[in-house]
Chains A and B, each alone.
Chain A
């Protein structure tokens, strides 16, 4: 049990030290695989028809953060090859804290294609249908939170512990998108994809204000104004006075596979989304493209609980005046303070539907073809997560040889990390196209020994993603006169 716990801890710590980019969009953008139309709906796959097999056509998992690396958490000991955590007395906590930022984000993302179908329509049109299950999360931890946890509050005397950036958003939804792209002019091609979103579960923290002011006499002023919206099968039990007693998962929803499936396929939480894109051939060799993706929202109505708290609480010590005066006992004063704190931040529970927006992305890219098969590209992908803006800039060298082989080698600057070399490879044999993509290829590895096994982990990365899958592809229009892949040069 202890061993299992330790293993889990290590994995979690390691996982949390990874970061993610835009789900390998950077690498796949200039490759000749059907999935790149997800990054820009104006892209037209080179195949007349493609079918993404359920669960197999591009499962993408990514976890990224902008502050932690494995080496920030674990270090080699001076003797006995021991491994120390950052909480070891020999570990300088300040070194750990120096790696944190004002806003430290962790973004887990998972997309599992259920069904992907695309086919050419007429001379210039192309339809696509994608059903994808997506889990999208974004957690922001204020830097002061780490300082508070590891060094305490003394250092904040005379200042404020700013936790206003604390945010959390996690949602699981199903996206059904129907896209169409068409060549408008000889150089311009536009694409659009309309999406219907089916929310399954979500939780989000809306933090309007959260801070602790520490005065010179160590009295504290706690300001909190936040709202937690939850749409999930939870049971909220309340006390007689309306106070929340407990929040538990409602097991009745999942006590049989049928119920779980029925819940997952529910349509009460509906939303809409849209992707729009364009490509433009500046010249025969130089092309530019842009896309606005994942613009949309979901209105959550099912199993909604809103937990709201807003107040200010000043703690300047237990006032012993009445204890000294004999009118109250120390316990009573302590209880009053406890009640006061409890009441100040009492959670009120409502069931009002709420809306969450999708973190949308703006993609702008350009490529230059040296030969019909070789090109270089530059891609900017900006992701807007609420007030947070994430930017990734990728330079890539791409090889697209016919419909059988497509490869890309990329360099990406993202999440304050500048050593991300990515690569993608797609091969077609017959009707099958296999692909694997990653935005970051670690050049040096740490070998993690657990029990008798070994796990290789990149020495320094905070962004990891991996997409791999298989498509059924039919037809090849690359050689047709009027239907060429955008990244190929005739």
Chain B
């Protein structure tokens, strides 16, 4: 039994192990073709963005308050005119005057001498003298008559207030007093300068002089030279004596001679000049401002500055000059200045004119550019003898320096300033090189923003044209008068003017679109000339600045605006030795499932072509027409909802096979606004697009 069973098992085992070989698998011939071809689908990208997320508001792209998007090109300082460009007001006052001192007064002087009866009788005959001697006994006697007699020359006491003087005017009063007890028939006096013994004038006749009385005769000193040391000669014409006895005293009785100068004005000499106003100086003058350029200034207000003066004295006397400008007031107070100048010296100084108002129109005959000046000049020799000459003079200069003007009022001429030709590069050409088709910008605006602190009419001529070689389109904008501040209360005004389709050809200019915007122009003051009112103002910091701002509201339409660009084939694998398991040709399918919820009134189509530049052939093209459709719009061109587009873009095996046969990729984007581009659409910053894209990829990965 056991044996039978064992044989049974052995038999079965033998059959099983050898009997039923079904297949032979020669693993030495195992195929190396090991492929994996899964279809991978993955949501690759997504987004939910508004235009304001994509593009930030900046200097160029501006979101309006209504969220309308505008493209703005700005160019600052297309006009930058300052005061100095028109006027040089730094040196409008430069006054020079020379003042001659002229004839000056000196104090009166006087000297006297006397001749005793004894001296008189010495010139008589001996007999006659003896009578007088005899009668000098203390008793009364008849005074004897005597004849003319020339008395001996006598020196007068020196004068102290001059040493020598040539008089312009004045008198020398010669007085003879008869202190005798008998009348004199008259006399004659001769006055000599001691130096040179030159006679002053001619003999001075003195009429009869009763006893005890005096007689004075004046000598005109004009043009006479007098020294301070004089001598006198008295010639008595005799006496008739008395008929009644009188006391005769030889030593007590005399004839007295007095010489006195008065009303003296000297032309020159060495004199002591008492303090006195120079009368030759008229005291009134006019300061003339010279702003140049036909300016007629009525008023100047300075915030700060100085009037510098320089006084040069070529005189031996001490000079004091007082300057007064009645119509120039500093903080409401008249401007005055007193300057003392030592003999033969120079004095400089400064009169501040901070917060000072100059009234240059007070002269009714010449109501601009002038202010009156009232001066006084006093001199003195301070008690010393000085060598004076009436031609001595002082020179004065007055200059307005470092003025900082608050304002100037008046008429400011017809100055012009040229706005140099310049251009704004729009950058459109870089885009437009690859763009075909047309689009129309509906409502562009060029705005000139300016700031003007010239309170006077300024006419701005603004010339501009768009240039896209060789085409040009002129802006065609007429000159305009800029707004100006209502001075003096208003010192500056900021304003703008717009160049739009109503007053220019800007719409066709922008729709070119231009590569460059070329502009030039000029600014002219007072284009209507002088109306005589002189009521315009400019300020110390007056300027006219202007910037240009090209504002292009995104309000346009296009039906087939195409953008094409050719780039290197970035998909191509140039490494032939690349052992990467996945190669482009391994892709059997790449599908991009794009779903977009587009709130923009713009639709996009895309074409992508693989191009072989060697043969000039397009190898494969993927066409994604209407990949994103435009949103519907309302009557105003604003998107009123969103359009949902679901598109599948398939890159098939043919495309992938062509990748390495192409060296370039051509992209073509077509843009079309809503309603097939028949209506203008507006772009707002809150437009949104929500999208997601999934990739479905089937590759054939060779894993060998």
Chain A interface (Cβ < 8 Å from any Cβ of B) = 6-7, 10, 74, 76-77, 80-85, 87-89, 93, 148-155, 157, 214-215, 217-220, 315-321, 323-326, 373, 399, 401-402, 404-405, 407, 423, 425, 441-451, 456, 459
Contacts and interface: CB of A to CB of B under 8 A. Distances in A.
Contacts of A89: 33, 35, 37, 700
A325 B49 contact: yes
A61 B40 CA distance: 40
Contacts of B12: 423, 441
Give the most central of B27, B53, B693, B695: most A CB within 10 Å. B27
Contact of B43 (A155, A219, A450): A219
Interface stretch (B1-9, B206-214, B346-354, B606-614): B1-9
B31 A84 contact: yes
A317 B38 CA distance: 20
A217 B43 contact: yes
Given A77-B31, A151-B38, A321 B53 contact: yes
B30 A317 contact: no
Prevailing SS type, chain B contact patch: strand
B571 interface: no
Given A76-B23, A83-B25, A154 B40 contact: yes
Contacts of A445: 17, 20-22
A22 B37 CA distance: 38
Contacts of B48: 321
Contact of A218 (B25, B30, B593): B593
Give the most central of B23, B24, B38, B40: most A CB within 10 Å. B23
A448 B23 CA distance: 8
B595 A217 contact: yes
Contact residues on B (Cβ < 8 Å of other chain), bracket: 35 or more
B27 A152 contact: no
Nearest to A84: B31
B95 interface: no
A315 B42 CA distance: 9
A447 B27 CA distance: 10
B16 A443 contact: yes
B46 interface: yes
A442 B30 CA distance: 24
A219 B104 CA distance: 117
Nearest to B699: A152
A218 B47 contact: no
Contact of A321 (B29, B31, B47): B47
Given A153-B41, A219-B692, A316-B43, 15 more contacts: A6-B27, A82-B26, A82-B29, A87-B34, A87-B703, A150-B38, A152-B38, A154-B39, A219-B694, A317-B693, A405-B6, A447-B24, A449-B24, A450-B27, A456-B17
B56 interface: yes
B16 A218 contact: no
A459 B22 contact: yes
Interface string B567-603: 0000000000000000000000000010100000000
Nearest to A405: B2
B137 to A, nearest CB: 144
Contact of B2 (A80, A154, A218, A401): A401
Contacts of B703: 87
29 contacts: A83-B25, A83-B26, A85-B30, A88-B31, A88-B34, A89-B33, A89-B700, A152-B38, A153-B41, A154-B696, A217-B43, A217-B595, A218-B41, A218-B694, A316-B692, A317-B45, A317-B692, A318-B45, A320-B49, A324-B47, A324-B53, A325-B49, A402-B2, A405-B6, A407-B5, A423-B12, A443-B16, A444-B21, A448-B27
B54 interface: yes
A77 B6 CA distance: 41
A468 to B, nearest CB: 13
Contacts of B700: 89
B129 interface: no
B283 to A, nearest CB: 80
B694 A317 contact: yes
A-B pairs, 3 with minimum CB distance? A152-B38, A152-B39, A317-B43
Nearest to B54: A324
B698 interface: yes
B41 A82 contact: no
B1 to A, nearest CB: 6
B41 A214 contact: yes
Given A83-B30, A85-B31, A88-B31, A152 B698 contact: yes
B157 interface: no
B595 A84 contact: no
B44 interface: yes
B28 interface: yes
A321 B53 CA distance: 8
Contacts of B49: 320-321, 324-325
A414 B121 CA distance: 197
Contacts of A76: 23, 25
A316 B41 CA distance: 11
